[in-house]
Chain A
Amino acid sequence: MIYKDFSNIDEEYYEKRLDSGLKVVFIPRERFNKKHAILSVEAGSVDLKLKDLNDEIYEYPKGIAHFMEHILFENREGSIIDKFSKIGSSVNAYTGFNNTNYYFNTTSNFFDSLKYLFGFVLNPHFDTDRINHEKNVIKQEINMYQDSPNWQSFYQLLQSLFYKYPIKNNIAGTQKSIEKINKKTLIDFFDKFYSLDNMTLIVIGAINSDRLFDWLDKNITIKRNQDFSYEKLYPEEPMGIRLEEKDLAMSISRPIISLGYKENSRFENKEKIIKQDMLTNMILEMIFGKSSDNYHDLYNKDLIDENFSFNYMREKNSGFAKIYAETNSIDRTINGITEIIDNWEQEIDNENFEVVKHKFIGRYFRSLNSVETLSSQIIKYLKFEQNYLDIIKMIKDIKLDEVIKQYKNLLQEKEHVKIIIRKVHK
């Protein structure tokens, strides 16, 4: 058991890998009514191919991880949601690029809820009628996203940035790909990915730590597929962007643009990867943050407004920066943004950098107020063997020359994707 006392931020941290292979993190929150647990399975939308020890290959249809999330919510005992409701807890789940997360919130009945959580995630019931029913629900879900301009601009950006890497796929799959999902593919996917050593449990709340770990040791004992013995395979992603520009039209009030810069640096060091995530987000804040001259230049020229946003997303095999704006002057806004990016080097200064560090520390404290934000950040950092409760140090340690290096590597005069969504002409 690992125990850490982060007295500088009034947090405590417990971590343990159980005999069953499950990794558990517990963060006490004595003053909160809410008790929160999230079971994160390392099977996300990018996980479509595996290789076993005998080099046999397994492939799955796009959208299967998300489909699994839906299907687990109904088993032999009926609706899982009802089951939690009966004891006053709420349960939900979401599928991301790299994992599927099942979680509940409760104010009482924590251990019953925990039992139910493991119960439904580990004991599926794959019924053909149910699978067909869920296909209809997911088709509706896919349609709903189609109509969202924000979602479209993000999806089209990924489609254009990447040639092969499956982050480019819709997490829910396509109308066509989910047709390929059936009982057999689901059973197979479940068997491979849903083993305890491919999962992490995060618990946050006013719970006694001894009682929690005793309970887990006693109740979570299934040892299937000890050592997740499959290699996850991903297609080799070529360097560079797939498409420079994509232009489409939707029923919206004014055009939307997004620009994407693809991360081409490749390395294995996990700490370096997550640090790159933080570092690049700091760079974007320095360039375009609300205190920057650049932001106000663009704003005063009516090229951007409060909807302007930017961020950098890094996961294990890919990364990209995205800049988003709503504007009536498409070309001038795009040129304005890219000019600022290309010429930013001369503006880099240490004072501004220190201010941005403070800003990130402020944001960090705000994030600690919400247990959901905290648990999702813990998961994100844990994947790279880092502790989210310890990142003030990481923020403070970032050096200006790292900023310059990453700026040159990702942004300065680099090729980029432009997604333009225009207004439909009546």
Chain B
Amino acid sequence: MLKTSKFNEYKTENDIDVYINNTDKFKTNYIHLDIVRPLSTEKDVSKNALIPYILYRGSKKYPTNQAISHRLDDMYGADLNVSVARRGENQLLRFSVEVISDKYVDAAESLIKKAIDFLYELVFSPLVVDGEFKKEYIKKGQTFLKEKILSLKNDKSSYVIERCYQEMCKGEDFSLYTLGSINGLRESQKENLYKYFQKILLESPIELFVIGDINKPDDLYQYINNKFIDKRDKELPLNNTFIKTENFREKELEEEDEITQSRFCAGIRVPITRSHPLYFALIVYNGMLGGFSHSKLFTTIREERGLAYYINTRLESTKGLILINAGIDVVNYPIVKEIIIEKIEEMKAGNFSTENIEWTKKKLINRYKTLSDNNHSIVDAFLLGLINGKKDSLNYVINSIKQVKKEDIVKVAKKVNLTTYYLLKPGSA
């Protein structure tokens, strides 16, 4: 039996989607708010990315970052997180607060309500001076973001993944980096960001999640409904992703950097997303190819041949992409590439063992079940379902994976297009 709990779904009078999951599994209450924007232009993506980092500097009620920190201290060291993420061609502006469950603290007031008040304050009531965010905070946000964009290069594995996405999706919105660009940041300086943010609040989908020990979800919803009173006029859809289905072009690129180990990334297009009948077969396909340590790529390239320290695949299920990612010695590049092509062909020919299917299914089921033991993962998985218009329950996902047949996997394999090879190798930066 799967031990899981469900989200109650609500919508506030001002068109904010609220999802409340009542469970005593966790010792904390986790409150998470996503503002969903289309990934559109370099400039807009940069402006969007700035917003959380400006808001985080101070609000009307807590006008400095230190005042914010003190407020968090008052809530038993509540954990505040702001970030920006990309799911398909959507950019998420994310805000979350996690507090200890009310039953473990002898506070006079409910911590969860305090946390909701705080989150509202942070997002809907920013510090405004002369019709604009405080200049200093904009500047801080820009400096921070600039460094963050530049520092992508410090983590070679992430850098290679991002470069591979950029090259394989050139000309599509997905090639825009989640945090924007230096150019985009420069452009953003010419505009009134607060006005822009008001527009964001007015027109964007806003998804609010609460998960934890909530006695009366309906009452909590009422509390939220009475709190988030700002009038809205939602115009934008929850998903803005374009799925490319034809005209794939092959591309091979090399770059040099001051490194000792080479990083290699291969990009695959596969036009299957959640609403497609082969979606669950795609998940199994990805697991069999490189998702697990018993997968074709891992066993051949790392276990048998010792050609890489790591090799794995990752599925971007909203955009329909698979990336193969490996750390290798540069002299082994041709052979690693050859093996990858060979293994993908083997999958097309149905040349894989029943065992690989069964093990992969078991591992996937294990993963989906354990996902429901982590409050952050529950929210993340549920949001992906919302974006893709398919709120499948975990039970449904697990059953669907069980039912995937060999011929479904071969059908997926035949839709796979290996389009991009990207190598970062030792040399001068």
Contacts and interface: CB of A to CB of B under 8 A. Distances in A.
Interface of A: 8-10, 31-34, 79, 81-82, 85-90, 105-108, 133-134, 136-137, 140-141, 143-144, 146-150, 206, 250-254, 289-291, 293, 295-296, 299, 302, 305-306, 326, 355, 358-363, 365-366, 368-371, 424, 426
Nearest to B144: A305
Interface string B4-30: 100000000000000000011111100
B144 to A, nearest CB: 6
Given A86-B362, A299-B65, A366-B98, 5 more contacts: A134-B306, A140-B329, A143-B309, A149-B154, A296-B64
Given A140-B327, A296-B66, A305-B144, A9 B366 contact: no
Interface stretch (B125-133, B188-196, B254-262): B254-262
20 contacts: A31-B3, A32-B25, A32-B373, A81-B293, A82-B294, A89-B366, A90-B363, A107-B370, A136-B306, A137-B309, A251-B258, A251-B429, A254-B147, A254-B150, A295-B66, A305-B147, A326-B151, A366-B27, A366-B98, A369-B374
Nearest to A256: B154
Q: List 3 tightest A-B contacts by C-beta distance, closest first.
A: A88-B362, A359-B77, A362-B77
Contacts of A108: 366
A79 B303 contact: yes
A250 B25 CA distance: 45
Contact of A140 (B23, B259, B309, B373): B309
Given A34-B370, A85-B292, A137 B147 contact: no
B66 A291 contact: yes
Contacts of B308: 140
Interface residues of B, number: 69
Nearest to B327: A144
A27 to B, nearest CB: 13
Nearest to A352: B73
A70 to B, nearest CB: 11
A148 B358 CA distance: 37
Contact of A107 (B24, B69, B100, B369): B369
Contacts of B310: 144
Nearest to B2: A33
Contacts of B99: 362
Interface string B355-371: 10011001101100110
A169 B374 CA distance: 35
Contacts of B4: 33
Contacts of A137: 302, 306, 309
Nearest to B136: A300
B375 interface: yes
A66 B68 CA distance: 43
Contacts of B98: 366
A424 B154 CA distance: 12
Contacts of A296: 64-66
Contacts of B327: 140, 144
Contact of B73 (A136, A355, A424): A355
Interface in B218-263: 257-261
A362 B79 contact: yes
Given A146-B260, A366-B79, A107 B293 contact: no
Interface of B is mostly: mixed
B428 interface: yes
Interface in B144-159: 144, 147, 150-156
A291 B98 CA distance: 17
Nearest to B304: A133
B3 A33 contact: yes
B104 interface: yes
A8 B101 CA distance: 12
Contact of B261 (A32, A79, A143, A250): A143
Given A79-B294, A136-B306, A144-B309, A105 B366 contact: yes
A296 B69 CA distance: 11
B380 to A, nearest CB: 15
B384 interface: no
B299 interface: yes
Pick from B26, B73, B259 the residue with the most CB of A within 10 Å. B73
Pick from A8, A254, A369 the residue with the most CB of B within 10 Å. A369
B372 interface: yes
Contacts of A305: 143-144, 147
Interface in B302-326: 302-303, 306, 308-310
B70 interface: yes
Interface string B151-189: 111111000000000000000000000000000000000
Contacts of B429: 251, 424, 426
A81 B77 CA distance: 40
A208 B235 CA distance: 53
Contacts of A34: 369-370, 373
A218 B350 CA distance: 44
Contact of A82 (B28, B151, B359, B365): B359
Contact of A250 (B70, B72, B258, B369): B258
A375 to B, nearest CB: 13
B370 A365 contact: no
A360 B292 CA distance: 36
Contacts of B366: 88-90, 105-108
A177 B77 CA distance: 45
A150 B64 CA distance: 30
B84 interface: no
Nearest to A249: B258
B28 A369 contact: yes
Contacts of B143: 302, 305
Given A137-B306, A254-B150, A361 B369 contact: no
A388 to B, nearest CB: 14
B145 to A, nearest CB: 10
A326 B148 CA distance: 11
A369 B375 contact: yes
Contact of A358 (B76, B150, B428): B76
Contacts of A295: 66
Contacts of B119: none
B65 to A, nearest CB: 7
B325 to A, nearest CB: 12
Contacts of B365: 88, 107
A362 B78 contact: yes
A88 B287 CA distance: 13
Contacts of A9: 27, 104
B293 A85 contact: yes
A302 B140 CA distance: 9
A363 B355 CA distance: 42
Contacts of B27: 9-10, 365-366, 368-369
Pick from A82, A305, A362 the residue with the most CB of B within 10 Å. A362
B406 to A, nearest CB: 18
Given A147-B156, A290-B65, A251 B359 contact: no
Contact of B154 (A252, A355, A359): A252
B77 A361 contact: yes
A360 B260 contact: no
Contact of B363 (A88, A133, A140, A146): A88
B1 to A, nearest CB: 9
Contacts of A253: 147, 150-154
B258 A424 contact: yes
A424 B429 CA distance: 8
Contacts of B303: 79
A145 to B, nearest CB: 9
A368 B101 CA distance: 12
Contacts of B26: 369
Nearest to B70: A291
A105 B366 CA distance: 9
